């Protein structure tokens, strides 16, 4: 883990979460996404793709998202599956 990765993990308050390597996307749940977004500085970016495994559009866009991730490895990319986001959405 690099220093910036360790900083991200400590700011997120969960040292058991391994931050992604540059250029690596990660599939996360709603709780992790909340912590990641709350921990970001104003000038940092996260790209989040909400998708559903049953949705043809979601399945077709995933390869493009992976390409985008490889083109901009300095930006953190996360995917969140619809079923893991729904309990969080109901809270709002």
- Pick from 86, 90, 76, 85: nearest CA to 7: 76
pLDDT at 71 over 60: yes
pLDDT one-digit tens code per residue, 8-66: 444 444 444 444 444 456 676 667 777 777 776 555 788 888 888 889 999 899 899 88
> pTM, whole model, 2 decimals?
0.54
For residue 61, give its domain range: 3-90
CATH number at residue 37: 3.40.30.10
Q: For 73-82, what is each residue's pLDDT tens digit?
A: 888 888 888 8
* Phi, psi at 74, each rounded to 5°: -75, -15
Please give the tally of structural domains in the chain.
Answer: 1
Q: What's the pLDDT score for residue 2?
A: 41
């Amino acid at each position: 883990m690099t220093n910036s990765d360790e900083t991200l993990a400590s700011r997120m308050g969960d040292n058991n979460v391994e931050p992604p390597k540059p250029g690596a996307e990660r599939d996360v749940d709603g709780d992790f996404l909340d912590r990641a977004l709350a921990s970001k500085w104003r000038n940092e970016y996260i790209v989040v793709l909400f998708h559903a495994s049953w949705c043809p559009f979601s399945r077709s866009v995933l390869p493009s998202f992976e390409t985008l991730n490889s083109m901009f490895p300095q930006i953190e990319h996360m995917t969140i599956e619809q079923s893991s986001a729904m309990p969080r959405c109901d809270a709002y």
